[in-house]
Amino acid sequence: MSIWHAPFTVDEINQRFNGGLAAHLGIQISACGDDWISGTMPVLPRVHQPMGLLHGGASVALAETLGSVGANLCVDYTRQRCVGQEINANHIRGITDGIVTGTARAVHIGSRSHVWQIEIKNAAGQLVCLSRLTIAVVDSR
């Protein structure tokens, strides 16, 4: 059973949520299913920390982007918006180049809050970062 408020395509998601930090980091939604959404981010020097590894903040930006987009697709966007309230991340494995793919799945979808878990993996399918995002569901103004 689908958790989404209305049907959509990956292209529609990328058009609707294009811009800002996600665009600067090269984040793109790449796939989705009935209860998950995935996106990619290239690991280039602009997302490195001083030691040449993927910056933890860039991983968190990917995680929050995926969880926030997923949450906003679960509500009636004419009446409500979903915004990040708290996020944590465990950085498991370093990566210096390539592409990382994050997959966000809802752990809880309530009327006023959501909790999403996001796994970010490298091209070999190894876990790079595990994140949990709490979302506040607020009324549109």
119 belongs to the catalytic site: no
Annotated catalytic residue: which of 12, 64, 86, 119? Answer: 64
Pair of tokens at residue 85: 């309230």
Which residues carry out catalysis?
A: 64
